């Protein structure tokens, strides 16, 4: 029975596809039967990396035109590839017939391989979360970049909300050595444990190696292009660790069963989801309800219609809940000494839920700026720093200055409060700036003429008597 591993990350550019491909080849070299399931429906990165051009994809399987063996691409190394269904925008929104075909196809894969590596798209949309949740194990790829850590944290948080944050392994990519990778992992691990109460496990690291870029340019995996280079050694070591860590048997068709379960969540006709669900027929349906609400074709009003019957039943059992709920929340934060960082995290989460539900942010730009200015407590220095930062950002984004300095200077001079003394001081500062910039004195034409006359008089001193 195959061990299913989702190779994922919170953001793009961390080497996720490269890792899935090279790790798959390293496992194959260790006499394992390995299949890479390309679940990135938006891009064909594996095809580009391997230089393959598949005739069929998962799209034909979901249409009932081909079976899984028909679309499988097997490389000379023995590694198998299931090409992504590029025509399917989201596998989390398939109708019942497609889900049935997908489940049957995945069961066939589970029976034929030792390892199935799911190469997911980057990010935290519902399609990514579905594939990550469907795997036995989750392999999170992080790098030293702060955004990689924060985005991966967000991914784990959403998985935790869905009840799918289990068996999580971390690979630290693009680091200089083992101690550096451990330091980055421990920082990530501490944040995840403190704020999400989750356990994550260190699987290994991949050294930053220029051979990776050369191999990608040659459309070859680095373990094939340069098997003795440092990063290739890391991949083979990672394969050994993975086989050791996941040595236990997997006797259940977890991968295919997960998608089979979704048959009860995604009816083929979904024009009015609220009318198609019999709440009385479900026991403990939290995961299914969340999955349904997250569908792109359900708006805020329809989602509310799904939740209201449950809320009504709850309020029926506990009358006037709202009258005690909000004061209780307020007292909890006010009196229990709840950490500031965790309060902010809760606020950001609620704002994210609001934006997903209503399709617009809770606060507009002006509101956010007002909040920032209020937060600096009236400090002129901080406000000036904020202004300069915004101006620099504008210049980077649009390749031009936010303000025209010449126009600003003229407007300043023409202001009614601008005096001749101010003008003289301004000119003196201009000349000083000129010296600093060009390492020379600023001179006008009249200054040059006077200098020339003085030079002539010094050259012909007898002419002074004329």
Q: What is the reported pTM?
A: 0.57
Confidence (pLDDT) at 285: 39
Confidence (pLDDT) at 263: 46
Max mean pLDDT among 173-182, 253-262, 268-277, 288-297 falls in 173-182
Lowest mean pLDDT among 177-186, 210-219, 371-380, 384-393: 371-380
Band of the pLDDT at 406, cuts 50, 70, 90?
confident
Stretch 67-71: mean pLDDT: 88
* 426, 427, 429, 431 alpha-carbon torsion, rounded to 10°: 170
Sign, CA torsion 3/245/9/225: negative
Tell me: pLDDT of 282 over 50. Answer: no
Tell me: pLDDT of 432 over 90. Answer: no
The better pLDDT of the pair 94, 440 is held by 440
- State residue 39 phi and psi, 5-degree precision: -105, 10
Q: Write down the H helix ranges in 72-177.
A: 96-112, 126-133, 146-161
- Provide the 10 A C-beta neighbour count for residue 33: 15
Tell me: pLDDT of 77 over 60. Answer: yes
Helix/strand number for the chain, H first, E second: 21, 8
With CA atoms as reference, report the closest residue to 167 among 4, 2, 1.
Answer: 4
Strand arrangement of the beta sheet that strand 80-82 belongs to: 73-74, 80-82, 34-38, 115-119, 3-8, 137-142, 168-175, 200-207
Structure tokens at 218: 């040659």
Confidence (pLDDT) at 366: 57
Nearest-angstrom CA–CA distance, 68 and 112: 11
CATH code 3.40.50.300 region(s) in the chain: 3-260
Confidence (pLDDT) at 97: 74
Nearest-angstrom CA–CA distance, 251 and 244: 18
With CA atoms as reference, report the closest residue to 138 among 203, 196, 195.
Answer: 203
Q: What is the DSSP letter of 279?
A: G
Q: What is the DSSP letter of 92?
A: G
Confidence (pLDDT) at 183: 94
The better pLDDT of the pair 350, 305 is held by 350
Confidence (pLDDT) at 279: 35
Max mean pLDDT among 268-272, 297-301, 417-421 falls in 417-421
Confidence (pLDDT) at 417: 84
Confidence (pLDDT) at 47: 80
Band of the pLDDT at 203, cuts 50, 70, 90?
very high
Residue-averaged pLDDT of the chain: 75
Diameter of the chain measured on Cα atoms: 119
Q: How far is CA 100 from the centre of its chain?
A: 31
- Provide the 10 A C-beta neighbour count for residue 387: 11
Nearest-angstrom CA–CA distance, 146 and 326: 35
- Provide the 10 A C-beta neighbour count for residue 293: 18
Band of the pLDDT at 31, cuts 50, 70, 90?
very high
Confidence (pLDDT) at 286: 45
Tell me: pLDDT of 201 over 90. Answer: yes
Stretch 4-23: mean pLDDT: 91
Assign domain 3-260 to a CATH class: alpha beta
- State the burial class of residue 26 (Cβ atoms within 10 Å of its Cβ: 0-12, 13-18, 19+): buried
Nearest-angstrom CA–CA distance, 466 and 250: 113
The better pLDDT of the pair 225, 41 is held by 225
Confidence (pLDDT) at 405: 77
Query: pLDDT of 251-280, one tens digit each?
Result: 566 677 776 665 444 444 443 444 333 333
Percent over 90 (pLDDT), the chain: 26
Strands (E), 16-78: 34-38, 73-74
**Residue tagged 């060009």 (tokens):** 438
Stretch 185-207: mean pLDDT: 93
Percent over 70 (pLDDT), the chain: 60
- Name 331's Cβ contacts closer than 8 Å, sequence gap at least 6: none
The better pLDDT of the pair 438, 333 is held by 438
Nearest-angstrom CA–CA distance, 181 and 188: 11
CB contact at 8 A, 124 and 84: no
Confidence (pLDDT) at 318: 44
With CA atoms as reference, report the closest residue to 150 among 9, 20, 15.
Answer: 9
Nearest-angstrom CA–CA distance, 42 and 40: 6
Strands (E), 18-103: 34-38, 73-74, 80-82
CB contact at 8 A, 39 and 84: yes
Confidence (pLDDT) at 163: 81
- Provide the 10 A C-beta neighbour count for residue 227: 15
Lowest mean pLDDT among 17-26, 163-172, 328-337, 338-347: 328-337
Query: pLDDT of 226-250, one tens digit each?
Result: 999 999 999 999 999 999 888 766 5
Strands (E), 150-254: 168-175, 200-207
């Amino acid at each position: 029975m195959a061990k299913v591993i989702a190779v994922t990350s919170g953001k793009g550019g961390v080497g996720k596809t490269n890792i899935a491909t090279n790790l798959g080849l390293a496992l194959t070299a260790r006499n394992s039967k390995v299949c890479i399931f390309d679940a990135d429906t938006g891009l064909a990165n594996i095809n580009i990396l391997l230089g393959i051009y598949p005739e069929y994809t998962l799209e034909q399987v979901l249409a009932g035109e081909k079976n899984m063996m028909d679309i499988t691409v097997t490389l000379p190394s023995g590694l198998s590839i299931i090409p992504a269904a590029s025509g399917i925008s989201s596998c989390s929104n398939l109708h019942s017939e497609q889900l049935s075909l997908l489940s049957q196809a995945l069961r066939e894969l589970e029976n034929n391989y030792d390892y199935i590596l799911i190469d997911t798209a980057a990010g935290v949309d519902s399609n990514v979360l579905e594939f990550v949740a469907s795997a036995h194990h989750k392999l999170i790829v992080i790098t030293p970049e702060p955004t990689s850590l924060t985005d991966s944290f967000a991914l784990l948080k959403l998985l935790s909300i869905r009840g799918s944050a289990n068996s999580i392994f971390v690979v630290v990519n693009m680091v200089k050595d083992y101690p550096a990778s451990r330091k980055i992992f421990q920082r990530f691990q501490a944040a995840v444990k403190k704020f999400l109460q989750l356990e994550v496990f260190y699987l290994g690291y991949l050294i930053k190696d220029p051979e990776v870029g050369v191999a990608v340019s040659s459309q070859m995996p680095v373990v094939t292009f340069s098997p003795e280079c440092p990063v290739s050694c890391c991949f083979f070591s990672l394969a050994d660790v993975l086989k050791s860590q996941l040595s236990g048997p997997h006797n259940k068709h977890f991968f295919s069963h997960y998608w089979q379960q979704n048959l009860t969540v995604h009816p083929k006709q979904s024009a009015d989801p609220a009318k198609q669900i019999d709440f009385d027929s479900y026991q403990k349906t939290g995961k299914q309800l969340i999955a349904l609400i997250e569908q792109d074709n359900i708006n805020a009003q329809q989602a509310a219609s799904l939740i209201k019957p449950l809320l009504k039943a709850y309020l029926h059992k506990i009358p006037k809940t709202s009258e005690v709920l909000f004061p209780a929340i307020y007292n909890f934060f006010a009196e229990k000494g709840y950490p500031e960082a965790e309060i902010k995290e809760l606020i950001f989460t609620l704002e994210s839920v609001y934006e997903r539900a209503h399709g617009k942010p809770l606060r507009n730009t002006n509101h956010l700026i007002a909040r920032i200015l209020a937060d600096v407590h009236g400090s002129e220095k901080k406000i000036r720093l904020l202004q300069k930062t915004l101006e620099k950002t504008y210049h980077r984004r649009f390749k031009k200055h936010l303000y025209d300095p010449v126009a600003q200077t003229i407007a300043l001079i023409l202001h009614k409060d601008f005096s001749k003394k101010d003008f003289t001081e301004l000119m003196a500062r201009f000349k000083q700036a000129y010296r600093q910039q060009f390492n020379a004195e600023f001179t006008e034409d009249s200054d040059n003429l006077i200098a020339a006359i003085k030079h002539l008089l010094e050259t012909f001193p007898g002419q002074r008597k004329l």
